[in-house]
Amino acid sequence: MTHKNPQTREWQTLSNDHHLAPFSDFKQLKEKGPRIITHAKGVYLWDSEGNQILDGMAGLWCVAIGYGRDELAEAASKQMRELPYYNLFFQTAHPPVLELSKAIAEVAPEGMNHVFFTGSGSEGNDTMLRMVRHYWAIKGQPNKKTIISRVNGYHGSTVAGASLGGMTYMHEQGDLPIPGIVHIPQPYWFGEGGDMSPEEFGIWAANQLEEKILELGVDNVGAFIAEPIQGAGGVIIPPDSYWPRIKEILAKYDILFVADEVICGFGRTGEWFGSDFYDLKPDMMTIAKGLTSGYIPMGGLIVRDEVVAVLNEGGDFNHGFTYSGHPVAAAVALENIRIMREEKIIQRAHEKAAPYLQKRLRELSDHPLVGEVRGVGLLGAIELVKDKATRARYEGRGVGMICRQFCFDNGLIMRAVGDTMIIAPPLVISEAEIDELVTKARKCLDLTLSVLEG
Ligand code: PXG
């Protein structure tokens, strides 16, 4: 490939010689060379060749407040000068982590007033697993160990995270899942609902939780973990019947409910948390990504007061990370939340960007390749099919990847999960930028169709 900028080739050589990229085919990446992203502003990225790209994925579901907010850089710089690092292990604390804990408690659902900090969402879910088991042990029920999760859920890439997740291609590498984690079907009507109506299928999928609890015995089940809306799995929005039925089941059995809010949290659905959107009452919520708008790594676990009351009776919780509550990350998160609140970013997304995006996206339903458009807040999915009526796919054609490449080449980042195209732009996207996103998406759908017909 020829490059306008000679440095592009140099950077690609560095990639080939020294870098191992996450979730990548190393050999294939060497042949192709990565695209080098050099800077960003608002909802736009620029690559080393000078191309401007509309980032329909907010980085990787992270950059809620948009790129280029100097206030976050200032907050980091100030904190680095004042106290760049100190640990929280040995009965010490520092102002940023304490102020951040309070700010999170203020925006979290009622009764969720305590936060355990980690460096990522995966570590948040590892923390969850250990905390759930510790909790039941303190309560004298050490057998309540098993965590129920869902097929095609995503909960991270550490050993516990990948085990909790229901991605079989991850389980295949490294002998996962670890014992004590089981999966039930996902509420993915478009892909798996067959002849059932969405409502019927939602009830069926929710009932799988009850069946699994009964099969394992409630005395062996510690928790159920789920994303309010599955993100990496393909923006899977459960049928309306799903969460109400799950709530009934959770109310019936004495197990903890963990909402993985790593993607849904901090405004993605147009509410602070996906749990607010669906009125879930979780005992724990995993957070990351939007917590800092991705400007710096940070994750955590928000814990309900009643759970903390039990943990308080258990002595030491022998768990923590060097970077738990890192002061610079905490200062950045605090500034991010301050901006979100003061500029009413979530409220404005809820009132303006979200309805506009959802309306414009649904206009793509008339495209011959599109079997369904769905979305909530600033999340969207477009299902690519051969036959709209039967929801049949172009089997084996890699349609999603073809479309994704056209998007890349035409200045739009839109992800492909199989043949589902997904978007999650920054919450601050404007109406004009949404217009651009939808126009580019339609063009890429046309280009994809022409390849399939050609
Ligand atoms: N839970 C959820 C719901 C996530 O989406 C994690 C946990 C793990 O967070 P960390 O910070 O450890 O990565 C995630 C992460 C994708 C993709 O392909 C999504 C994630 C990570 C990597 C790729 O959409 N989400």
Ligand 1 center to 86 CA (angstroms):
27
pLDDT in tens, 115-173: 999 999 999 999 999 999 999 999 999 999 999 999 999 999 999 999 999 999 999 99
For ligand 1, atom 6, name the residue with the nearest CA: 156
Q: What residue owns the CA closest to ligand 1's atom 17? A: 232
DSSP-assigned beta bridge partners for residue 221: 146
Compute, in angstroms, the gap from residue 120 CA to the centroid of ligand 1. Answer: 9
pLDDT tens-digit series, residues 164-212: 999 999 999 999 999 999 999 999 999 999 999 999 999 999 999 999 9
Compute the distance from residue 294 Cα to the ligand 1 centre, in Å: 12
Residue 231 beta carbon below 6 angstroms from any ligand 1 atom: yes
**pLDDT for position 144:** 98
Of all atoms in ligand 1, which is nearest to the CA of residue 22? 22
Tokens 């609902």 sit at which residue?
193
Pocket test for ligand 1, best of 163, 289, 295, 421 (most atoms within 8 A of CB): 289
332 Rama sector, left if φ>0, alpha if ψ -120 to 50, beta otherwise: alpha
| Integer Cα distance of 325 and 195 in angstroms | 48
Residue 59 Cβ < 6 Å to ligand 1: no
| Pocket flag, ligand 1, residue 263 (CB < 6 Å) | yes
* Average pLDDT over every residue of 248-273: 98
CA gap 451, 155 in Å, rounded: 35
Task: Kindly state if the Cβ of 132 falls inside 6 Å of ligand 1.
Answer: no
Residue 156 CA to ligand 1 centre (angstroms): 5
- Confidence (pLDDT) at 1: 58
pLDDT at residue number 57: 98
Which residue, 198, 173, 176, 174, is CA-closest to 187? Answer: 198
Query: Is any ligand 1 atom within 6 A of the Cβ of residue 122?
Result: yes
Ligand 1 centre from 172 Cα, in Å?
18
Q: What is the reported pLDDT for 454? A: 79
> Rounded distance, CA 26 to CA 24, Å?
6
Token pair listed for 253: 């059995």
SS (H, E, C) the chain: CCCCCHHHHHHHHHHHHHCCCCCCCHHHHHHHCCCCEEEEEECEEEECCCCEEEECCHHHHCCCCCECCHHHHHHHHHHHHHCCCCCCCCCCCCHHHHHHHHHHHHHCCCCCCEEEEECCHHHHHHHHHHHHHHHHHHCCCCCCCEEEEECCCCCCCCHHHHHHCCCHHHHCCCCCCCCCEEEECCCCHHHHCCCCCHHHHHHHHHHHHHHHHHHHCHHHEEEEEECCCECCCCCECCCCCHHHHHHHHHHHCCCEEEEECCCCCCCCCCCCCHHHHCCCCCCEEEECHHHCCCCCCCEEEEECHHHHHHHCCCCCCCCCCCCCCCHHHHHHHHHHHHHHHHCCHHHHHHHHHHHHHHHHHHHHHHCCCEEEEEEECCEEEEEECCECCCCECCCCCCHHHHHHHHHHHCCEECEEECCEEEECCCCCCCHHHHHHHHHHHHHHHHHHHHHHHC
Ligand 1: atom nearest CA of 120 is: 11
Compute the distance between CA of residue 71 and CA of residue 59 in angstroms, rounded to an integer.
19
Distance 57 CA to ligand 1 centre (A): 13
b/e map 76-111, b = 16+ CB within 10 Å: beebeeeeeeebbeeeeebebbebbbebbbebbbee
pLDDT attached to residue 429: 98
Q: Is 299 in the pocket of ligand 1 (CB under 6 A)?
A: yes
> What is the average pLDDT across 372-397?
97
Give the position, in ligand 1's atom list, of the atom nearest the Cα of 57: 24
Contact call for residues 97 and 325 (beta carbons, < 8 A): yes
What's the 290 CA to ligand 1 centre distance in angstroms? 12
Ligand 1 atom nearest 158 alpha carbon: 12
| Predicted confidence (pLDDT) at residue 2 exceeds the cutoff of 80 | no
By the 10 Å C-beta count (0-12 exposed, 13-18 middle, 19+ buried), 169 is classed as exposed
Does 227 contact ligand 1 (Cβ within 6 A)? yes
Residue 291 Cα to ligand 1 middle (Å) = 13
pLDDT for 282-321, tens place per residue? 999 999 999 999 999 999 999 999 999 999 999 999 999 9
Mutate to test the pocket of ligand 1, among 23, 24, 57, 61 (most ligand atoms within 8 A of CB): 61
Q: Quick one: 38 exposed, middle or buried, by C-beta within 10 A (0-12, 13-18, 19+)?
A: middle
Does ligand 1 have an atom closer than 6 angstroms to the CB of 288?
yes
Atom of ligand 1 minimally distant from the CA of 264: 3
